[in-house]
Amino acid sequence: MVIAFRLGDIVRLRKPHPCGSYEWRVVRLGADIGLRCLKCDRRVLLARSELERRLKAFVARGENQPSPEAPSGE
Ligand SMILES: [Zn+2]
């Protein structure tokens, strides 16, 4: 089953980041999914299949389309 990630989704993973947070925001979509840690602000790239394996739950869903005013993330 394919999970439809959206920009701005807040996801909870099965294992915590070293900083202690389980929650991440989706900041980039593609073959690899860009995630930003909500606690320490670190960015990582995960293969979509890897993220699907690690995903525990959606905490919040993002917009269907990215907002033009959305920060670039850099
Ligand atoms: Zn972190």
Q: How far is the CA of 74 from the centre of ligand 1 (A)?
A: 17
CA atoms 72, 20, 18, 10: torsion sign: negative
Q: How far is the CA of 18 from the centre of ligand 1 (A)?
A: 6
- Residue 57's beta-bridge partner residues? 12
Q: How far is the CA of 62 from the centre of ligand 1 (A)?
A: 20
**pLDDT exceeds cutoff 70 at 53:** yes
Angle ∠(13,15,17) on CA atoms, nearest 5: 95
Going from N- to C-terminal start, the domains of the chain cover: 10-60
Q: Retrieve residue 20's tokens.
A: 């202690």
Q: How far is the CA of 63 from the centre of ligand 1 (A)?
A: 23
pTM beyond 0.85, yes or no: no
Confidence of residue 64 (pLDDT cuts 50, 70, 90): confident
Question: What mean pLDDT comes out for the span 21-36?
Answer: 96
